[in-house]
Structure 1
């Protein structure tokens, strides 16, 4: 902040906390010089979330002590550290053989992020990229990212999923596509084996390898009604 911005900040603080107002001209000049010396490298506001007036108002709102330049500088340092921690240094656009230009662009971006002039460059999500053509062709051939041989080896360890896949492969309705009215299993969840004690309370809730028969009936009824829905609409 330059001296004009420091003066504007002190005027704003004086409206919120009259204790900071200096009526003597010499004291006001010394206060302005002190704040400018300590906050000269702190911007008044940036396009990406920093505002010294907000930091000052927050201190005056929660602290009974008179505000000092450090009460504005500390939030600014926290703001800078947070932005640099979220910045991932994207690959510079210059020739990588030009070491000086490469380093200058990296340093320039970091300074822009630290000063609040630019937003941090974060990592892209894995799903944001395009699928490789070879992978798309493989998925079209096998229908899944898990090869059939591996799926067969995994079948003993996930019997409910194996039974579901076998039923769908044989053209039978997908029982897990509907809610089970017997054990209250939700869509996509396996049925549960509910054992009731003499008092009428459930003692067990182990998953079943096969859905309840009533769930098959509901899935078959839903599958039979599916072709009729467009005509009814």
Structure 2
């Protein structure tokens, strides 16, 4: 707050608590200088919830003691602490390989949230959606194609054969078999098929995952893909 805002704040407080009014011109000047020295880095109000007058009014309502600059500072620090506690750092749009730019963007976002000029970002697990991705980050992902480099993906292929077979099938233009439910092993969409053995009592058992989907699941995915491809034509 600048000196004019401090003077307006003292005038507002004086209307609520006459004990803070200084009649002598010298005392009023010293009071203004003291409050400005202590509250110069505290904003008068922010777009998201902070108002110094509300904090002063709340103190006068709840405390029998005369308000001091430290009471305003304490309320401001509680406001900053609460906002940072509810903030989840969003993914910066800077290049992850540029550590200085990445850290600077994170720090800038946190400072804006603490200062009340930006809203805290909620956890991505609650609000995650394709529409909320930063446009710069979206353009970068489209240029790269994947967050895993091709060399690393090829090196990981022997250790995850199911995913490697799925990616190879999609790359060849075949439908994704894991997009449908398997009628044989009852694997839900998105999960790999499992080996289903028939016990002597006609019960099914077996939980070992398969590297490739069951043939019936692949046929169902092909039929579903063909149906979706023909739907716009028949319409």
Relative to the length of structure 2, the TM-score reads: 0.57
Cα offset, 1:95, TM superposition: 1.2
Q: 1:134 to 1:42 in 2, by over 3 A?
A: farther
Does residue 97 (structure 1) correspond to residue 97 (structure 2)? The answer is yes
**Partner SS for 1:89:** coil
2:53 corresponds to: 53
Query: How many residue pairs end up in the alignment?
Result: 150
Q: 1:112 to 1:66 in 2, by over 3 A?
A: same
Please list every run of at least 4 consecutive aligned residues from structure 1 whose deviation after the TM superposition is greater than 3 angstroms.
125-130, 133-136, 138-149
1:36 corresponds to: 36
Aligned equivalents of 2:44 and 2:115: distance in 1?
11
Q: 1:127 to 1:45 in 2, by over 3 A?
A: closer
Aligned equivalents of 2:25 and 2:102: distance in 1?
51
How do 1:173-188 and structure 2 match up within 5 A? Answer: none
Q: 1:126 to 1:63 in 2, by over 3 A?
A: closer
How do 1:1-233 and structure 2 match up within 5 A? Answer: 1-125=1-125, 128-129=128-129, 137-139=179-181, 142=186
Aligned-residue RMSD, C-alpha: 2.9
Rg bigger for which structure? 1
Q: 1:72 to 1:138 in 2, by over 3 A?
A: same
Relative to the length of structure 1, the TM-score reads: 0.57
Cα offset, 1:16, TM superposition: 0.5
Gaps of 5+ in 2: 131-174, 197-202, 205-235
Aligned equivalents of 2:181 and 2:33: distance in 1?
69
Gaps of 5+ in 1: 154-233
